[in-house]
Amino acid sequence: MANSAVEMPARLTQARSERTAWQKLKVSPNWLGFWYMVPAMGILILFLAYPLGLGVWLSFTDTKIGRDGVFVGLENYEWLAEDSVFWTSVFNTLLYTTVASAAKFVIGLYLALLLNKHLPFKAMIRALVLIPFIVPTVLSAIAFWWIYDAQFSIISWSLRQLGWIDHNINFLGDVWNARWSTIFANVWRGVPFIAITLLAGLQTVSPSLYEAATLDGATPWQRFRHITYPLLTPIIAVVMTFSVLFTFTDFQLIWALTRGGPVNATHLMATLSYQRAIIAGQLGEGAAISTAMIPFLLAAIGIAWYGLQTRKWQQGGSND
């Protein structure tokens, strides 16, 4: 840096007359950052911004597979507004997201607090917790499908052996059973991510803060309430935003387990969109369902952003 500050003016004056605007732009320190960003920007525009824009555009047309559509304005949305299956899927998605995210948060936080204690075989237990996260979703979905099977379910079998029930539970065939079963599978899969991230957050809390709080007379609950929880909120905000986004847009698990059945009882907006657009070929209508998810997702991000903004104690003085 020191070198260039001394040399640059000399070189610039010497070469100024011969350089075109483009040549100057190529070496300008202000533009250098931009040039470095170009590859990443290209990828993002090509694979994220363009498909998103195309999806939104499609939702305003009556495109079908194999036939270009024409602009129809809000017609797709008008159809959807009167479509009870769509509203079921909205209800399902909200239920699925709320219940699963809340359960994942509570269980994940509990696991994180547990794993932060001095346990025997700590490293091994931490690795074990990660397993549901490592197994590909479709694989675990198939495993759950087997666990929930109407005839061969291990749960039904066990309960029958214990004599608690006399016939198999219809996990995926009954409307509410299917909803709770898919939520359970989602929680099982999502907990490790939250637990491990919160554990990382917990480990940044200095143990002397707990000691100070103990001497100040705090009970274990008060230490959690006044030290752990507030210091963890930034991480909680980030991890729960991610969790809500992933759960809201979940597709794999539902598609592998129930395909939205029985009678659309477990259709999420993502699975319904896929079914309408790809299977039924109604690209425009499917795109409209997908686009309808955007406001919900923006709201979730907005809440998390607001949560991150309002913590003054993290900002301010730079000296540590």
CB of 216 to another protein, least distance (A): 4
Long-range Cβ contacts of 128-136 (<8 Å, 24+ apart): 129/191, 129/192, 129/195, 129/196, 130/192, 130/196, 131/192, 132/188, 132/189, 132/191, 132/192, 133/189, 133/192, 133/193, 133/196
221 binds another protein (CB under 8 A): no
Using the contact rule CB under 8 A, the part of the chain among 129-137, 149-157, 203-211, 292-300 near another protein is 203-211
CB of 212 to another protein, least distance (A): 4
Q: Which of 98, 214, 249, 252 forms a contact with another protein (CB under 8 A)?
A: 214
Q: Which of 85, 113, 143, 218 forms a contact with another protein (CB under 8 A)?
A: 218
User: What is the Cα–Cα distance from 103 to 94, expressed in whole angstroms?
Assistant: 14
Q: Which of 125, 139, 212, 294 forms a contact with another protein (CB under 8 A)?
A: 212
Please compute Rg for the chain using Cα positions: 27
DSSP string, 176-235: HHHHHHHHHHHHHHHHHHHHHHHHHHHTTS-HHHHHHHHHTT--HHHHIIIIIHHHHHHH
309 binds another protein (CB under 8 A): no
Using the contact rule CB under 8 A, the part of the chain among 16-24, 46-54, 223-231, 270-278 near another protein is 223-231
Q: Which of 112, 213, 292, 300 forms a contact with another protein (CB under 8 A)?
A: 213
231 binds another protein (CB under 8 A): yes
Binding site for another protein (CB under 8 A): 206, 208-209, 211-218, 222, 226-227, 230-231, 311-317, 319-320
